[in-house]
Amino acid sequence: MQTQTNKPYLIEFPSIGASEIGYISVSEAQKNIPFDIERVYWTYYTPESIVRGRHAHHRTEQVLVSVMGRIIVNLEGPDSSEIITFVLDRPNVGVYIPAHYWHTMQYSHIAVQLVLASAHYDESDYIRDYQEFKSIS
């Protein structure tokens, strides 16, 4: 599966089950995830006053899912014409973030964020300085 767009979009994962027995949602590379998954990580116990992220990637694509709680995701694209906000508050919905999007996240106190990434960790892939991001956008 090729990335359908170079813009962020919501992905709704299948939700299988019922309220009396619980649910399961599934994500699969090249099916509902538009890249091969090379890294999985999660964040938790993040104080509500903390804004995480504050970077972009040269190459890495990501899908963020709030498996618990609420996460507000703000994205700024390479053309910097607008900031797009997504509110993740259901465990069967994620947001696709292409490379070259500056992103920040703010969490409710119980939020657990799952991240599926297209690449292994590589510090040289990160754009951590906002002015540098603006200059290459």
pLDDT at 3: 44
In a domain, 3, yes or no: no
**Is 21 within the bounds of a domain?**
yes
Say what the pTM is: 0.92
Quick check: is 120 catalytic?
no
Instruction: Tell me how many domains the chain contains.
Output: 1
pLDDT tens, 16-56?
A: 999 999 999 999 888 899 999 999 999 999 999 999 999 99
Q: How confident is the model at residue 1 (pLDDT cuts 50, 70, 90)?
A: very low
Residue 2 pLDDT level (bands cut at 50, 70, 90): very low
Q: Is residue 131 part of a domain?
A: yes
Identify the domain containing residue 131 by its residue range.
9-136
Question: Looking at the domain assignment, is residue 1 inside a domain?
Answer: no
* 18 located within any domain: yes
Query: Of 8, 137, 7, 5, whose CA–CA distance to 80 is shortest?
Result: 137
φ/ψ (deg, to 5) at 133: -55, -45
CATH number of the domain that 36 lies in? 2.60.120.10
Residue 2 included in any domain: no
User: For residue 19, is it within any domain?
Assistant: yes
